[in-house]
Amino acid sequence: MKTGKVFLVGAGPGDVGLITVKGLDAVKQAEVILYDRLANPKLLEYADSDCELIYCGKLPDRHTLRQENINGLLVQKALEGKLVVRLKGGDPGIFGRVGEEAAALAEFQIPFEIVPGISSGIAAPLYTGIPVTHREHAESFAVVTAHDKSQNGKPLLDWEGLARGVDTIAFYMGVGNLPFICENLIRYGKPSSTPVILIHWGTFGRQRTLQGTLADISEKVLQSKFSNPSIILVGDVISLREKISWFEKKPLYGRQILLARTSASPSVLAKELQAQGADVIEFPKWKVTKIPLDLTRVAAYEKILFTSPESAAEFFEALLEAEIDIRRIHAEFYGLSSKTIKALRERGVIGKLAQQIEDSENMLVIGENHLLQKNYQKAEMMVTSEKELDRQFLPIFQRMLKEAKINTMIFPSSASVEPFLTTLEDCQMNAAELLHQVQVIAMGELTQAAAIKAGLAETEKPVTPTKEALVDYMVKHPLQGVQE
């Protein structure tokens, strides 16, 4: 059997847009992905639906997989001939133990590549408005582990060298040792007035910061119950933050949004919400299996109705594969939504909304929703694909929802309500508990009615069901009585 290959990939600090092009290409090709807790799980959605996902997450008090087991799995899967990705938060070479994993692969002569990532020690400060170096404030920068194998987990460091020789210091995963860190930096020469900032979940919409000095930051952390994962940054360059803070000024910063999803394709709405500073968890995850289409009679219909943008794309792909010229089809084209009409226009076809259909005589409905036959009983149905729940993602969503503090729920369509609630039950989660004190927003009157019928009585809606109106509504109706 041919030996596979392993990519040891840095996923970046959290914002999915910060993974490298090479790293994302590896994820898309992977047959097996072993991923860490601090690698954003949304990156896994770029993988093939048949890719095996293995969680290697580590917490300070427990290990899902110990390092030797991770090394063994990388070797095992590669020897099975698989293309394997080890997806690690931040940069794999900075406290990522990539050297140990690469050595294990080299021992078995397994080919591998190491793909660097953006380190959280640099990215998290930048997302708070702090460059780690600056001509006037900081000419040197150090990254330091604040938790090592020494006795009691207290880092054995050259404290004098750090205190006197380095302008900006980033400590990784060191909240528990913060008093020890501050005490030693002061003892060896750092002024007690030196600024310190803690950045929790840096580059995510849930990012939080706590600022102080070496003299008082430990007490502030105790009072605010600040925790890992956090970067601790020490240095005078922190003073620049007030002038060049940018991420926290985004209109939806602090919004942790749960977006009900009905499509397997990337969400334009989710992308826009993220661009405005929000964290977005799209739930549930679907996978699609295409069905071979019989297109022998397609030119005979007078009307063709597409139920979704996906069904339009799959139909046009099938036409090309069957070498059927679109000019042979003389039917009027219709779409169930404006998004579907847009998908048709992108293929050079002007469609009309389904509301303009007067009768379903000699009509073909193309899509995945058999229930449409109730509305168009005289029409024939052509199913382009089968959509099913991707159950491999259920435990991933459980972890995401437990770590996030959801404060906004969005239903983009009436069809998104029932699948969302049903899948929550599959995750052993209660909708009433999860959405308690959460702002629930529906895109349109029909969607609002469906949410209220499902028991979500306080559902709100923007003026129009567009992403622009939605963002405007959330800006004008900030969270009240909601956990941020």
Let me know if domain 5-118 sits in CATH 3.40.1010.10: yes
Answer whether residue 86 shows pLDDT above 90: yes
Encoding tokens for residue 266? Answer: 């990337």
Q: Do domains 5-118 and 289-388 have the same CATH topology?
A: no
Kindly indicate the confidence band of residue 484, based on its pLDDT and cuts at 50, 70 and 90: very low
What is the mean predicted confidence (pLDDT) over 368-386?
A: 75
Q: How many residues does the chain have?
A: 484
Superfamily of chain region 122-248: Tetrapyrrole methylase, C-terminal domain (3.30.950.10)
- What pTM value is reported for the model? 0.87
Answer whether residue 483 shows pLDDT above 60: no
CA pair distance 389, 264, nearest whole angstrom: 10
pLDDT, position 58: 64
Answer whether residue 339 shows pLDDT above 70: yes
CA pair distance 78, 248, nearest whole angstrom: 42
Max CA pair span of the chain: 86
Phi-psi region of 481 (alpha: psi -120 to 50; beta: other; left: phi over 0): left
CA pair distance 276, 199, nearest whole angstrom: 20
CA distances from 214 to 131, 140, 182, 297, 427 (A): 19, 19, 5, 77, 43
Beta strand pairing status for 52-55 and 58-59?
A: unpaired
Helix axes 217-224, 178-187, angle to 10 degrees: 170
pLDDT, position 263: 83
Contact 445, 461 (CB under 8 A): yes
> What CATH number belongs to 256-285+390-476?
3.40.50.10090
Q: Is the model more confident about 383 or about 113?
A: 113
- Return the CATH architecture of domain 289-388: 3-Layer(aba) Sandwich (3.40)
Q: Is the model more confident about 148 or about 303?
A: 303
Which of 107-111, 177-181, 264-268, 304-308 has the least mean pLDDT?
264-268
Residues marked as catalytic? 36, 58, 173
CA pair distance 483, 216, nearest whole angstrom: 26
Answer whether residue 355 shows pLDDT above 60: yes
CA pair distance 68, 461, nearest whole angstrom: 51
CA pair distance 35, 102, nearest whole angstrom: 16
pLDDT tens, position by position, 26-61? 999 999 999 999 999 999 999 998 999 999 986 555
CA pair distance 310, 367, nearest whole angstrom: 8
Answer whether residue 370 shows pLDDT above 60: no
Helix/strand/coil percentages in the chain, nearest 5: 40, 20, 40
Which sequence spans correspond to the domains of the chain? 5-118, 122-248, 256-285+390-476, 289-388
Q: Is the model more confident about 139 or about 480?
A: 139
pLDDT tens, position by position, 281-291? 999 999 888 88
